[in-house]
A and B are shown apart, each in its own frame.
Chain A
Amino acid sequence: MTLAAENLSVTRGGRVVVENLTAALAPGRITAIVGPNGAGKSSLLLALAGLLEPSGGGVSLDGSPLTALTPRARGQAIGYLPQSPDIAWDVSMESLVALGRLPWRDRGTPAIEAALAALDLEALRTRPVSRLSGGERARVLLARVLAGEPRWILADEPLAALDLAHQLGLIAHLKACAAAGQGVVVVLHDLALAMNHADHVLVLHDGRLAAEGPPAHALAEERIARVWGISANWLGEPGRRGLVTHG
Protein backbone atom coordinates (compact mmCIF):
# COMPACT_ATOMS: atom_id res chain seq x y z
CA MET A 1 0.00 0.00 0.00
CA THR A 2 3.04 2.28 -0.11
CA LEU A 3 3.43 5.05 -2.64
CA ALA A 4 7.14 5.59 -3.09
CA ALA A 5 9.42 7.80 -5.13
CA GLU A 6 12.85 6.39 -5.78
CA ASN A 7 15.63 8.63 -7.08
CA LEU A 8 12.84 10.59 -8.77
CA SER A 9 13.82 13.41 -11.09
CA VAL A 10 11.36 15.50 -13.09
CA THR A 11 12.20 17.96 -15.85
CA ARG A 12 9.69 20.55 -17.03
CA GLY A 13 10.36 22.96 -19.84
CA GLY A 14 14.05 22.02 -19.83
CA ARG A 15 14.41 22.82 -16.10
CA VAL A 16 14.98 20.18 -13.45
CA VAL A 17 12.16 20.75 -10.94
CA VAL A 18 12.50 17.61 -8.84
CA GLU A 19 15.95 16.16 -8.36
CA ASN A 20 16.87 12.69 -7.19
CA LEU A 21 14.15 12.49 -4.57
CA THR A 22 13.52 9.35 -2.55
CA ALA A 23 10.58 9.10 -0.16
CA ALA A 24 8.16 6.39 0.91
CA LEU A 25 4.64 7.51 1.82
CA ALA A 26 2.45 5.37 4.01
CA PRO A 27 -1.34 5.17 3.84
CA GLY A 28 -3.55 6.00 6.80
CA ARG A 29 -1.97 9.35 7.48
CA ILE A 30 -1.77 12.86 6.10
CA THR A 31 1.47 13.66 4.36
CA ALA A 32 2.08 17.35 3.66
CA ILE A 33 4.45 18.55 0.95
CA VAL A 34 5.72 22.04 1.80
CA GLY A 35 8.37 24.35 0.43
CA PRO A 36 8.89 27.85 -0.96
CA ASN A 37 7.44 28.87 -4.33
CA GLY A 38 9.11 27.02 -7.18
CA ALA A 39 10.44 24.28 -4.89
CA GLY A 40 8.79 21.60 -7.06
CA LYS A 41 5.82 20.71 -4.82
CA SER A 42 3.18 20.55 -7.55
CA SER A 43 5.52 18.73 -9.93
CA LEU A 44 6.29 16.14 -7.26
CA LEU A 45 2.57 15.65 -6.64
CA LEU A 46 1.90 15.23 -10.39
CA ALA A 47 4.71 12.70 -10.65
CA LEU A 48 3.39 10.80 -7.63
CA ALA A 49 -0.03 10.74 -9.33
CA GLY A 50 1.58 9.28 -12.45
CA LEU A 51 0.64 12.36 -14.49
CA LEU A 52 4.15 13.64 -15.11
CA GLU A 53 6.73 11.39 -16.65
CA PRO A 54 9.93 11.21 -14.56
CA SER A 55 13.15 12.11 -16.33
CA GLY A 56 14.96 9.81 -13.91
CA GLY A 57 14.06 7.24 -11.28
CA GLY A 58 10.41 6.41 -10.77
CA VAL A 59 7.32 6.11 -8.64
CA SER A 60 6.00 2.80 -7.38
CA LEU A 61 2.72 1.74 -5.86
CA ASP A 62 2.88 -1.34 -3.64
CA GLY A 63 6.33 -2.09 -5.02
CA SER A 64 5.43 -2.13 -8.71
CA PRO A 65 6.15 0.83 -10.97
CA LEU A 66 3.27 3.21 -11.62
CA THR A 67 4.03 3.10 -15.33
CA ALA A 68 3.10 -0.60 -15.35
CA LEU A 69 -0.51 0.28 -14.53
CA THR A 70 -3.01 1.10 -17.26
CA PRO A 71 -4.30 4.69 -17.04
CA ARG A 72 -7.62 3.29 -15.86
CA ALA A 73 -6.12 1.14 -13.10
CA ARG A 74 -4.02 4.11 -12.02
CA GLY A 75 -7.15 6.27 -11.96
CA GLN A 76 -8.86 3.72 -9.73
CA ALA A 77 -5.95 3.66 -7.28
CA ILE A 78 -4.98 7.33 -7.16
CA GLY A 79 -7.36 10.29 -7.00
CA TYR A 80 -5.81 13.61 -8.01
CA LEU A 81 -7.30 16.95 -7.01
CA PRO A 82 -5.75 19.82 -9.00
CA GLN A 83 -5.44 23.30 -7.55
CA SER A 84 -8.67 25.31 -8.11
CA PRO A 85 -9.51 23.75 -11.47
CA ASP A 86 -11.53 25.67 -13.99
CA ILE A 87 -14.76 23.75 -14.62
CA ALA A 88 -15.60 23.99 -18.32
CA TRP A 89 -19.37 23.43 -18.23
CA ASP A 90 -21.97 24.58 -15.76
CA VAL A 91 -23.02 21.06 -14.84
CA SER A 92 -25.02 20.12 -11.77
CA MET A 93 -23.01 19.42 -8.66
CA GLU A 94 -24.09 15.78 -8.67
CA SER A 95 -22.98 15.26 -12.30
CA LEU A 96 -19.60 16.71 -11.40
CA VAL A 97 -19.16 14.38 -8.42
CA ALA A 98 -20.23 11.43 -10.58
CA LEU A 99 -17.24 12.10 -12.90
CA GLY A 100 -15.17 10.51 -10.15
CA ARG A 101 -16.56 7.15 -11.22
CA LEU A 102 -15.08 7.39 -14.74
CA PRO A 103 -12.14 5.03 -14.09
CA TRP A 104 -14.59 2.37 -12.89
CA ARG A 105 -17.01 2.79 -15.80
CA ASP A 106 -19.98 2.19 -13.56
CA ARG A 107 -22.70 4.34 -12.07
CA GLY A 108 -21.20 3.84 -8.62
CA THR A 109 -24.29 5.16 -6.89
CA PRO A 110 -23.32 3.96 -3.37
CA ALA A 111 -19.86 5.54 -3.64
CA ILE A 112 -21.32 8.82 -4.91
CA GLU A 113 -23.91 8.84 -2.14
CA ALA A 114 -21.22 8.13 0.45
CA ALA A 115 -19.05 10.97 -0.88
CA LEU A 116 -21.99 13.40 -0.86
CA ALA A 117 -22.89 12.36 2.67
CA ALA A 118 -19.28 12.59 3.92
CA LEU A 119 -19.00 16.17 2.70
CA ASP A 120 -22.53 17.15 3.68
CA LEU A 121 -23.56 17.97 0.12
CA GLU A 122 -26.79 16.04 -0.21
CA ALA A 123 -28.95 19.16 -0.22
CA LEU A 124 -27.08 20.71 -3.15
CA ARG A 125 -27.38 17.89 -5.71
CA THR A 126 -29.02 19.82 -8.52
CA ARG A 127 -27.24 23.11 -7.96
CA PRO A 128 -25.16 24.23 -10.98
CA VAL A 129 -21.47 24.49 -10.10
CA SER A 130 -21.43 28.18 -11.05
CA ARG A 131 -23.77 28.85 -8.14
CA LEU A 132 -21.67 27.16 -5.46
CA SER A 133 -19.81 29.25 -2.89
CA GLY A 134 -16.03 28.85 -2.59
CA GLY A 135 -16.35 26.52 0.37
CA GLU A 136 -19.05 24.41 -1.30
CA ARG A 137 -17.01 24.21 -4.47
CA ALA A 138 -13.95 22.93 -2.58
CA ARG A 139 -16.09 20.27 -0.92
CA VAL A 140 -17.65 19.26 -4.24
CA LEU A 141 -14.24 18.89 -5.87
CA LEU A 142 -13.06 16.71 -2.99
CA ALA A 143 -16.29 14.71 -3.19
CA ARG A 144 -15.51 14.07 -6.88
CA VAL A 145 -12.21 12.47 -5.82
CA LEU A 146 -13.83 10.50 -2.97
CA ALA A 147 -16.52 9.16 -5.32
CA GLY A 148 -13.76 7.28 -7.14
CA GLU A 149 -12.90 5.44 -3.90
CA PRO A 150 -9.16 5.81 -4.51
CA ARG A 151 -6.65 4.27 -2.17
CA TRP A 152 -4.61 7.47 -2.44
CA ILE A 153 -5.82 11.07 -2.48
CA LEU A 154 -3.32 13.55 -3.87
CA ALA A 155 -4.46 17.15 -3.51
CA ASP A 156 -2.65 20.29 -4.72
CA GLU A 157 -3.32 23.14 -2.29
CA PRO A 158 -6.91 22.16 -1.58
CA LEU A 159 -7.14 24.81 1.15
CA ALA A 160 -5.69 27.74 -0.78
CA ALA A 161 -8.89 29.64 -1.57
CA LEU A 162 -10.73 28.87 1.66
CA ASP A 163 -11.37 30.88 4.77
CA LEU A 164 -10.24 29.50 8.12
CA ALA A 165 -13.48 27.72 9.03
CA HIS A 166 -13.67 25.99 5.65
CA GLN A 167 -9.97 25.10 5.83
CA LEU A 168 -10.54 23.33 9.14
CA GLY A 169 -13.68 21.66 7.78
CA LEU A 170 -11.87 20.28 4.75
CA ILE A 171 -8.93 19.12 6.87
CA ALA A 172 -11.36 17.24 9.08
CA HIS A 173 -12.64 15.43 5.97
CA LEU A 174 -9.11 14.59 4.86
CA LYS A 175 -8.32 13.30 8.35
CA ALA A 176 -11.40 11.09 8.20
CA CYS A 177 -10.13 9.66 4.89
CA ALA A 178 -6.74 8.94 6.43
CA ALA A 179 -8.39 7.37 9.48
CA ALA A 180 -10.32 5.11 7.11
CA GLY A 181 -7.02 3.86 5.70
CA GLN A 182 -6.65 6.00 2.57
CA GLY A 183 -3.34 7.64 1.87
CA VAL A 184 -3.62 11.44 1.82
CA VAL A 185 -0.92 13.65 0.32
CA VAL A 186 -1.49 17.41 0.24
CA VAL A 187 0.62 20.28 -1.02
CA LEU A 188 0.33 23.06 1.55
CA HIS A 189 1.55 26.63 1.69
CA ASP A 190 0.51 27.32 5.25
CA LEU A 191 3.18 25.89 7.53
CA ALA A 192 0.97 26.16 10.62
CA LEU A 193 -1.65 23.93 8.97
CA ALA A 194 1.09 21.41 8.12
CA MET A 195 2.50 21.60 11.64
CA ASN A 196 -0.86 21.11 13.35
CA HIS A 197 -2.61 18.66 11.07
CA ALA A 198 -0.13 16.60 9.07
CA ASP A 199 1.25 13.31 10.34
CA HIS A 200 4.27 13.45 8.08
CA VAL A 201 5.94 16.33 6.25
CA LEU A 202 8.19 16.50 3.18
CA VAL A 203 10.09 19.79 2.92
CA LEU A 204 11.20 20.61 -0.62
CA HIS A 205 13.85 23.14 -1.48
CA ASP A 206 14.97 23.74 -5.06
CA GLY A 207 13.59 20.38 -6.14
CA ARG A 208 15.44 18.43 -3.47
CA LEU A 209 14.16 16.86 -0.31
CA ALA A 210 15.41 19.17 2.47
CA ALA A 211 13.79 17.22 5.31
CA GLU A 212 11.27 14.49 5.96
CA GLY A 213 9.59 13.32 9.12
CA PRO A 214 7.05 14.26 11.77
CA PRO A 215 6.07 17.95 11.57
CA ALA A 216 7.92 19.00 14.73
CA HIS A 217 11.15 17.64 13.24
CA ALA A 218 10.68 18.59 9.57
CA LEU A 219 9.43 22.10 10.33
CA ALA A 220 11.92 22.99 13.05
CA GLU A 221 12.68 26.70 13.32
CA GLU A 222 16.24 26.40 12.05
CA ARG A 223 15.02 24.52 8.98
CA ILE A 224 12.44 27.21 8.24
CA ALA A 225 15.24 29.75 8.47
CA ARG A 226 17.39 27.78 6.04
CA VAL A 227 14.74 26.82 3.48
CA TRP A 228 12.46 29.87 3.50
CA GLY A 229 15.12 32.36 4.48
CA ILE A 230 13.05 33.85 7.31
CA SER A 231 13.44 33.95 11.02
CA ALA A 232 10.37 32.49 12.72
CA ASN A 233 9.27 30.91 15.99
CA TRP A 234 6.60 28.41 16.84
CA LEU A 235 4.29 29.44 19.67
CA GLY A 236 1.61 27.50 21.51
CA GLU A 237 0.88 23.89 22.34
CA PRO A 238 1.54 20.95 20.02
CA GLY A 239 -1.46 20.62 17.73
CA ARG A 240 -2.31 24.33 18.17
CA ARG A 241 0.87 25.95 17.05
CA GLY A 242 1.17 29.32 15.43
CA LEU A 243 4.14 30.66 13.49
CA VAL A 244 5.44 34.11 14.30
CA THR A 245 7.87 35.66 11.86
CA HIS A 246 10.44 38.33 12.60
CA GLY A 247 11.56 41.02 10.15
Chain B
Amino acid sequence: MTRASLVFAALLAVLFPLSLLAGRVWIAPADFGPGNTLLILAELRLPRAVLAVVIGAGLGAGGAAMQGYLRNPLADPGLFGIAPMAALGAVGSFWLAPLLPPAFATWSLPVMALGGAALGMAGLALIAGRTASDGAEGAGGGIALFTLAGLMLASLAGALTALAITLAPNPFALSEIVMWLNGALTDRSWREVWIAAPLTLAGIGVLALAARSLDALTLGEAAARSLGVEPRRLLALLVIGIGLTVGAGVAVAGIIGFVGLVVPHLVRPLTDRLPSSLILPSALAGACLVLAADSIVRVLPLVTELRLGIALSLIGAPFFGWLLLMMRRGRL
Protein backbone atom coordinates (compact mmCIF):
# COMPACT_ATOMS: atom_id res chain seq x y z
CA MET B 1 0.00 0.00 0.00
CA THR B 2 1.38 3.40 -0.91
CA ARG B 3 1.70 6.37 1.40
CA ALA B 4 -1.34 8.10 -0.12
CA SER B 5 -3.48 4.98 0.28
CA LEU B 6 -2.41 4.63 3.92
CA VAL B 7 -3.20 8.26 4.68
CA PHE B 8 -6.70 8.12 3.23
CA ALA B 9 -7.41 4.63 4.62
CA ALA B 10 -6.51 5.92 8.07
CA LEU B 11 -8.70 9.00 7.57
CA LEU B 12 -11.57 6.78 6.48
CA ALA B 13 -11.10 4.59 9.55
CA VAL B 14 -11.55 7.69 11.71
CA LEU B 15 -14.40 9.22 9.73
CA PHE B 16 -16.50 6.09 9.40
CA PRO B 17 -17.34 5.57 13.11
CA LEU B 18 -17.77 9.33 13.57
CA SER B 19 -20.31 9.46 10.78
CA LEU B 20 -22.32 6.72 12.50
CA LEU B 21 -22.60 8.89 15.58
CA ALA B 22 -23.54 12.09 13.75
CA GLY B 23 -27.06 13.03 12.82
CA ARG B 24 -30.28 14.62 14.07
CA VAL B 25 -29.98 12.27 17.00
CA TRP B 26 -26.41 12.19 18.27
CA ILE B 27 -25.38 8.82 19.54
CA ALA B 28 -22.70 8.65 22.20
CA PRO B 29 -20.57 5.50 22.06
CA ALA B 30 -21.80 4.72 25.60
CA ASP B 31 -25.39 4.50 24.32
CA PHE B 32 -24.71 1.49 22.12
CA GLY B 33 -27.16 -1.17 23.09
CA PRO B 34 -30.38 -2.84 22.12
CA GLY B 35 -33.41 -0.79 21.22
CA ASN B 36 -33.81 2.30 19.06
CA THR B 37 -30.13 3.13 19.04
CA LEU B 38 -29.21 -0.16 17.49
CA LEU B 39 -32.05 0.15 15.01
CA ILE B 40 -30.91 3.64 13.97
CA LEU B 41 -27.37 2.38 13.56
CA ALA B 42 -28.07 -0.88 11.78
CA GLU B 43 -30.89 0.17 9.48
CA LEU B 44 -30.29 3.88 8.87
CA ARG B 45 -26.79 5.11 9.55
CA LEU B 46 -24.73 2.06 8.67
CA PRO B 47 -26.19 1.51 5.18
CA ARG B 48 -26.02 5.25 4.53
CA ALA B 49 -22.37 5.42 5.58
CA VAL B 50 -21.47 2.33 3.57
CA LEU B 51 -23.26 3.79 0.56
CA ALA B 52 -21.36 7.08 0.94
CA VAL B 53 -18.12 5.13 0.97
CA VAL B 54 -19.11 3.07 -2.07
CA ILE B 55 -20.28 6.04 -4.15
CA GLY B 56 -17.36 8.24 -3.14
CA ALA B 57 -14.88 5.48 -3.95
CA GLY B 58 -16.40 4.97 -7.41
CA LEU B 59 -16.42 8.68 -8.20
CA GLY B 60 -12.88 9.19 -6.89
CA ALA B 61 -11.41 6.29 -8.84
CA GLY B 62 -13.40 7.31 -11.93
CA GLY B 63 -12.07 10.87 -11.68
CA ALA B 64 -8.46 9.72 -11.38
CA ALA B 65 -8.84 7.44 -14.41
CA MET B 66 -10.59 10.13 -16.49
CA GLN B 67 -7.93 12.74 -15.75
CA GLY B 68 -5.27 10.22 -16.71
CA TYR B 69 -7.04 9.27 -19.91
CA LEU B 70 -7.73 12.80 -21.06
CA ARG B 71 -4.29 13.92 -19.77
CA ASN B 72 -6.10 16.83 -18.20
CA PRO B 73 -6.40 17.72 -14.52
CA LEU B 74 -9.77 19.40 -15.12
CA ALA B 75 -11.53 16.26 -16.35
CA ASP B 76 -14.42 14.72 -14.45
CA PRO B 77 -16.07 11.32 -14.94
CA GLY B 78 -19.30 13.22 -15.66
CA LEU B 79 -17.71 14.32 -18.95
CA PHE B 80 -18.34 10.94 -20.51
CA GLY B 81 -22.07 11.62 -20.57
CA ILE B 82 -22.74 8.47 -18.58
CA ALA B 83 -24.03 10.25 -15.46
CA PRO B 84 -26.61 12.34 -17.37
CA MET B 85 -27.71 9.24 -19.28
CA ALA B 86 -28.17 7.34 -16.02
CA ALA B 87 -30.11 10.32 -14.64
CA LEU B 88 -32.30 10.31 -17.74
CA GLY B 89 -33.06 6.64 -17.18
CA ALA B 90 -33.96 7.38 -13.56
CA VAL B 91 -36.21 10.27 -14.55
CA GLY B 92 -37.91 7.97 -17.02
CA SER B 93 -38.71 5.65 -14.15
CA PHE B 94 -40.72 8.38 -12.42
CA TRP B 95 -42.97 8.26 -15.48
CA LEU B 96 -43.04 4.52 -15.75
CA ALA B 97 -43.38 3.54 -12.09
CA PRO B 98 -47.15 4.29 -11.78
CA LEU B 99 -47.81 1.96 -14.72
CA LEU B 100 -45.92 -0.99 -13.25
CA PRO B 101 -47.11 -3.54 -10.70
CA PRO B 102 -45.91 -2.44 -7.23
CA ALA B 103 -43.39 -5.30 -7.00
CA PHE B 104 -41.56 -3.98 -10.06
CA ALA B 105 -42.12 -0.31 -9.37
CA THR B 106 -39.70 -0.18 -6.44
CA TRP B 107 -36.94 -1.54 -8.63
CA SER B 108 -37.71 0.56 -11.67
CA LEU B 109 -35.54 3.53 -10.64
CA PRO B 110 -32.20 1.80 -10.14
CA VAL B 111 -32.81 -0.59 -13.01
CA MET B 112 -33.72 2.17 -15.45
CA ALA B 113 -30.83 4.34 -14.28
CA LEU B 114 -28.44 1.46 -14.87
CA GLY B 115 -30.13 0.95 -18.24
CA GLY B 116 -29.49 4.62 -19.05
CA ALA B 117 -25.84 4.25 -18.06
CA ALA B 118 -25.55 1.11 -20.21
CA LEU B 119 -27.12 2.96 -23.15
CA GLY B 120 -24.61 5.78 -22.66
CA MET B 121 -21.76 3.26 -22.59
CA ALA B 122 -23.05 1.56 -25.73
CA GLY B 123 -23.31 4.93 -27.50
CA LEU B 124 -19.77 5.84 -26.54
CA ALA B 125 -18.46 2.41 -27.49
CA LEU B 126 -20.10 2.72 -30.92
CA ILE B 127 -18.51 6.10 -31.54
CA ALA B 128 -15.23 4.97 -29.98
CA GLY B 129 -15.10 1.91 -32.20
CA ARG B 130 -14.88 4.27 -35.14
CA THR B 131 -12.55 6.87 -33.71
CA ALA B 132 -10.07 5.00 -31.50
CA SER B 133 -8.33 3.54 -34.49
CA ASP B 134 -4.93 2.03 -34.03
CA GLY B 135 -3.42 4.52 -36.47
CA ALA B 136 -1.28 7.35 -35.17
CA GLU B 137 -3.80 10.06 -35.94
CA GLY B 138 -6.65 7.92 -34.72
CA ALA B 139 -5.36 7.81 -31.18
CA GLY B 140 -5.08 11.57 -30.83
CA GLY B 141 -8.21 12.39 -32.76
CA GLY B 142 -9.90 9.52 -30.93
CA ILE B 143 -9.61 11.06 -27.48
CA ALA B 144 -10.76 14.49 -28.65
CA LEU B 145 -13.68 13.08 -30.63
CA PHE B 146 -14.53 10.83 -27.76
CA THR B 147 -14.76 13.74 -25.34
CA LEU B 148 -17.00 15.59 -27.77
CA ALA B 149 -19.17 12.48 -28.14
CA GLY B 150 -19.49 12.38 -24.35
CA LEU B 151 -20.52 16.04 -24.31
CA MET B 152 -23.04 15.36 -27.06
CA LEU B 153 -24.57 12.51 -25.05
CA ALA B 154 -24.60 14.70 -21.94
CA SER B 155 -26.43 17.54 -23.71
CA LEU B 156 -28.90 15.15 -25.30
CA ALA B 157 -29.62 13.48 -21.96
CA GLY B 158 -29.88 16.89 -20.30
CA ALA B 159 -32.38 18.13 -22.88
CA LEU B 160 -34.50 14.98 -22.59
CA THR B 161 -34.39 15.22 -18.79
CA ALA B 162 -35.53 18.85 -18.98
CA LEU B 163 -38.32 17.73 -21.33
CA ALA B 164 -39.36 15.03 -18.86
CA ILE B 165 -39.46 17.64 -16.10
CA THR B 166 -41.61 20.11 -18.07
CA LEU B 167 -44.01 17.34 -19.04
CA ALA B 168 -44.13 15.78 -15.58
CA PRO B 169 -47.45 13.97 -15.07
CA ASN B 170 -48.20 15.72 -11.76
CA PRO B 171 -46.62 18.23 -9.35
CA PHE B 172 -45.62 15.43 -7.02
CA ALA B 173 -43.66 13.65 -9.76
CA LEU B 174 -42.09 16.98 -10.73
CA SER B 175 -40.80 17.63 -7.23
CA GLU B 176 -39.63 14.02 -6.94
CA ILE B 177 -37.61 14.33 -10.15
CA VAL B 178 -36.02 17.64 -9.21
CA MET B 179 -35.20 16.46 -5.70
CA TRP B 180 -33.75 13.23 -7.01
CA LEU B 181 -31.56 14.94 -9.60
CA ASN B 182 -29.78 16.75 -6.77
CA GLY B 183 -28.25 13.59 -5.41
CA ALA B 184 -28.64 12.55 -1.80
CA LEU B 185 -28.20 9.60 0.51
CA THR B 186 -31.23 10.34 2.67
CA ASP B 187 -33.31 7.29 3.61
CA ARG B 188 -31.18 4.83 1.69
CA SER B 189 -31.19 1.25 2.87
CA TRP B 190 -29.16 -1.92 2.48
CA ARG B 191 -31.00 -2.56 -0.80
CA GLU B 192 -29.17 0.37 -2.42
CA VAL B 193 -25.90 -0.86 -0.95
CA TRP B 194 -26.39 -4.27 -2.54
CA ILE B 195 -27.11 -2.66 -5.91
CA ALA B 196 -24.23 -0.20 -5.91
CA ALA B 197 -21.42 -1.96 -4.05
CA PRO B 198 -20.77 -4.93 -6.39
CA LEU B 199 -21.03 -2.78 -9.52
CA THR B 200 -18.76 -0.09 -8.11
CA LEU B 201 -16.18 -2.61 -6.92
CA ALA B 202 -16.20 -4.25 -10.34
CA GLY B 203 -15.83 -0.82 -11.96
CA ILE B 204 -12.84 0.11 -9.80
CA GLY B 205 -11.30 -3.25 -10.65
CA VAL B 206 -11.72 -2.57 -14.37
CA LEU B 207 -10.18 0.90 -14.00
CA ALA B 208 -7.25 -0.62 -12.13
CA LEU B 209 -6.63 -2.86 -15.16
CA ALA B 210 -6.23 0.30 -17.25
CA ALA B 211 -3.80 1.91 -14.80
CA ARG B 212 -0.47 1.15 -16.47
CA SER B 213 -1.79 2.10 -19.91
CA LEU B 214 -2.88 5.42 -18.44
CA ASP B 215 0.68 5.89 -17.15
CA ALA B 216 2.02 5.36 -20.65
CA LEU B 217 -0.29 8.13 -21.92
CA THR B 218 1.77 10.56 -19.81
CA LEU B 219 4.18 10.60 -22.76
CA GLY B 220 1.49 11.22 -25.36
CA GLU B 221 -0.49 8.84 -27.52
CA ALA B 222 2.15 7.83 -30.05
CA ALA B 223 4.71 7.03 -27.34
CA ALA B 224 2.05 5.16 -25.37
CA ARG B 225 1.28 2.97 -28.35
CA SER B 226 4.97 2.38 -28.90
CA LEU B 227 5.04 1.02 -25.33
CA GLY B 228 2.43 -1.58 -26.26
CA VAL B 229 -0.76 0.26 -25.26
CA GLU B 230 -3.77 -0.77 -27.34
CA PRO B 231 -6.06 2.26 -27.72
CA ARG B 232 -9.23 0.22 -28.25
CA ARG B 233 -8.66 -1.96 -25.22
CA LEU B 234 -7.87 1.07 -23.06
CA LEU B 235 -11.00 2.84 -24.24
CA ALA B 236 -13.14 -0.23 -23.57
CA LEU B 237 -11.75 -0.50 -20.02
CA LEU B 238 -12.42 3.19 -19.41
CA VAL B 239 -15.98 3.09 -20.72
CA ILE B 240 -16.85 -0.03 -18.74
CA GLY B 241 -15.10 1.16 -15.58
CA ILE B 242 -16.64 4.64 -15.62
CA GLY B 243 -19.99 3.20 -16.65
CA LEU B 244 -20.06 0.85 -13.68
CA THR B 245 -18.79 3.28 -11.04
CA VAL B 246 -20.70 6.37 -12.16
CA GLY B 247 -23.79 4.47 -13.34
CA ALA B 248 -24.10 2.62 -10.04
CA GLY B 249 -23.68 5.85 -8.08
CA VAL B 250 -26.34 7.72 -10.04
CA ALA B 251 -28.69 4.74 -9.87
CA VAL B 252 -28.84 4.80 -6.08
CA ALA B 253 -28.06 8.39 -5.13
CA GLY B 254 -28.75 10.72 -8.06
CA ILE B 255 -26.20 13.09 -9.47
CA ILE B 256 -23.30 13.90 -7.17
CA GLY B 257 -20.87 16.14 -9.00
CA PHE B 258 -17.34 17.41 -8.48
CA VAL B 259 -16.09 14.47 -6.38
CA GLY B 260 -14.26 12.95 -9.34
CA LEU B 261 -12.79 16.33 -10.25
CA VAL B 262 -11.66 17.39 -6.79
CA VAL B 263 -10.37 14.18 -5.26
CA PRO B 264 -7.39 13.42 -7.54
CA HIS B 265 -6.03 16.88 -6.73
CA LEU B 266 -6.10 16.12 -3.02
CA VAL B 267 -4.27 12.86 -3.66
CA ARG B 268 -1.70 13.91 -6.26
CA PRO B 269 0.75 15.74 -3.94
CA LEU B 270 1.08 12.53 -1.89
CA THR B 271 2.02 10.41 -4.92
CA ASP B 272 4.49 10.44 -7.81
CA ARG B 273 1.57 11.82 -9.92
CA LEU B 274 1.33 8.90 -12.32
CA PRO B 275 -2.31 7.91 -12.95
CA SER B 276 -1.71 4.37 -11.68
CA SER B 277 -0.60 5.68 -8.30
CA LEU B 278 -3.81 7.75 -8.03
CA ILE B 279 -6.61 5.26 -8.60
CA LEU B 280 -6.71 3.42 -5.27
CA PRO B 281 -5.94 6.45 -3.07
CA SER B 282 -8.50 8.50 -5.02
CA ALA B 283 -11.11 5.81 -4.30
CA LEU B 284 -10.30 6.07 -0.59
CA ALA B 285 -10.20 9.87 -0.64
CA GLY B 286 -13.49 9.99 -2.56
CA ALA B 287 -15.02 7.77 0.10
CA CYS B 288 -13.74 10.15 2.81
CA LEU B 289 -15.07 13.23 1.00
CA VAL B 290 -18.58 11.90 0.37
CA LEU B 291 -18.80 10.38 3.85
CA ALA B 292 -17.70 13.64 5.48
CA ALA B 293 -19.98 15.76 3.31
CA ASP B 294 -22.95 13.50 3.98
CA SER B 295 -22.31 13.60 7.74
CA ILE B 296 -22.12 17.39 7.64
CA VAL B 297 -25.38 17.85 5.70
CA ARG B 298 -27.03 15.57 8.25
CA VAL B 299 -26.08 17.70 11.24
CA LEU B 300 -26.57 21.15 9.69
CA PRO B 301 -29.36 22.91 11.62
CA LEU B 302 -31.68 23.37 8.64
CA VAL B 303 -35.40 22.64 8.44
CA THR B 304 -34.92 20.20 5.57
CA GLU B 305 -31.67 18.39 5.03
CA LEU B 306 -29.35 20.06 2.50
CA ARG B 307 -29.08 17.76 -0.53
CA LEU B 308 -25.66 16.13 -0.75
CA GLY B 309 -25.38 16.86 -4.48
CA ILE B 310 -25.99 20.56 -3.83
CA ALA B 311 -23.55 20.66 -0.91
CA LEU B 312 -20.76 19.04 -2.94
CA SER B 313 -21.38 21.39 -5.86
CA LEU B 314 -21.18 24.35 -3.46
CA ILE B 315 -17.75 23.13 -2.39
CA GLY B 316 -16.70 21.82 -5.80
CA ALA B 317 -17.50 24.78 -8.04
CA PRO B 318 -15.25 27.28 -6.20
CA PHE B 319 -12.56 24.58 -6.07
CA PHE B 320 -12.86 24.25 -9.85
CA GLY B 321 -12.43 28.01 -10.16
CA TRP B 322 -9.33 27.84 -7.99
CA LEU B 323 -7.95 25.03 -10.19
CA LEU B 324 -8.48 27.20 -13.27
CA LEU B 325 -6.58 30.06 -11.63
CA MET B 326 -3.72 27.73 -10.66
CA MET B 327 -3.64 26.38 -14.19
CA ARG B 328 -3.45 29.90 -15.59
CA ARG B 329 -0.47 30.55 -13.36
CA GLY B 330 1.12 27.36 -14.66
CA ARG B 331 1.12 25.63 -11.29
CA LEU B 332 -1.01 22.67 -12.31
Contacts and interface: CB of A to CB of B under 8 A. Distances in A.
Interface string A69-111: 0111011101111100111111110011001101101000000
Contact of B218 (A12, A80, A87, A105): A87
In the complex, which of the residues B137, B215, B216 has the most CB atoms of chain A within 10 Å of its own CB atom? Answer: B215
A102 B212 contact: yes
Interface string B62-89: 0000000001100000000000000000
Given A52-B135, A88-B218, A95 B228 contact: no
A144 B226 contact: no
Contacts of B218: 87-89, 91, 96, 99
A50 B318 CA distance: 45
A74 B222 contact: no
Nearest to A89: B273
Contact of B228 (A53, A71, A96): A71
A13 interface: yes
A115 interface: no
B222 A102 contact: no
Contact of A99 (B71, B219, B222): B219
Nearest to B220: A85
A51 interface: yes
A71 B225 contact: yes
B224 to A, nearest CB: 9
Contacts of A90: 273
Given A85-B220, A99-B215, A99-B216, A91 B274 contact: yes
Given A51-B222, A85-B223, A75 B272 contact: no
B296 to A, nearest CB: 32
A148 interface: yes
A103 B219 CA distance: 14
B275 to A, nearest CB: 7
A141 to B, nearest CB: 8
22 contacts: A12-B137, A51-B225, A53-B134, A71-B225, A71-B228, A71-B230, A74-B226, A82-B219, A82-B222, A82-B223, A87-B218, A88-B218, A88-B220, A89-B273, A89-B274, A99-B215, A99-B227, A102-B215, A102-B216, A103-B227, A144-B219, A148-B227
